[in-house]
Amino acid sequence: MNFDLHKNLLDNLYDGVYFVDREKTITYWNKGAEMISGFSSSGVLGSCCSDNILMHVDDQGTLLCKELCPLAATIADGAPRKTEVYLHHKDGHRIPVVARIAPLHDEQGTIIGAVEVFTDNSSHIAALQRISELERVAYIDPLTELANRRFTEITLRARFDEMWRYGWQFGVILMDVDNFKRTNDLYGHDVGDRTLRMVAQTLLKNSRSFDVVGRWGGEEFLAIIMNTKRDHLKSIANRFRVLVEKSSLSVGKEVVQATISLGATLANAKDTAVDLLKRADRLMYQSKTAGRNCVSVD
């Protein structure tokens, strides 16, 4: 089998596939990698994979490209690896992927590089089905592609009904983009809109398929989290915070980043929707007062 046939087979995979040499310079980048990451083959070939391309982080926000890179580890010791990481999409948001790495050998058995296969791990099919339904009933926010406030309010009422009827616990996370006016003032409203989309897509891609993240208004977002307890809710909120902080946009020669302040709280049987949202709002502003880019939980 010749290289063209191999390339044709790899290019028709939905998974992302790329090859690197021993210096981690990208030598091949398939169409699946283009689709998942947003980076074209022509834009990345000859670059190092850590050169503002995928920039994998773990769920604590640790950048793996420098010291903890699984690709470099496989090149060094020849051992295959599988890991769950968050790659950097060209549009700035973070996408959870399962990455599988294997060494590449020459005819003498010497390691000459590695191959990474990465699979979108963001409940993509379920998310597409949810988006299709939202589009059908016109409940999508056109800028961020999240559920709009109307759909989010309907979902909130449904979660209260389920809690009162079946005892199913849920919580909410209210989030606000920090210093958003300054971003608009420095870079203009177009970059401000791109920043909101970046934050929104990071939240959406890293939420469970049965949870709902909506645009609550302006630069505020509301996540409605099913089947959760306090520690779990706090963990989800902190993951959102970390992944937004580690997302970025390229604007000319500058890198634009954003942080969010979060208020997370569980609903209880005595709550109304107004009570719950007031508590989440108070907690969110508690995070603002504490210095921003943090989570307050009640």
Q: Which of 84, 107, 133, 219 is catalytic?
A: 219
Q: How far apart are the first and last CA of the chain?
A: 61
Angle between helical axes of 189-205 and 180-187 (0-180°, round to 10)? 130
Pick from 192, 163, 182: which is nearest to 266 by CA? 163
- Write the CB contacts of 170 (distance below 8 Å, at least 6 apart in sequence): 159, 162, 163, 224, 225, 226, 227, 228, 266, 267
Is 135 annotated as catalytic?
no
- DSSP-assigned letters across all residues of 47-103: SBTTTTT---B-TT--B-SSSS-HHHHHHHH---EEEEEEEE-TTS-EEEEEEEEEE
CA–CA distance, 138 with 160 (Å, rounded to integer): 23
Sign of CA dihedral 81, 116, 57, 83: negative
Amino acid at 217: G
List active site positions: 219
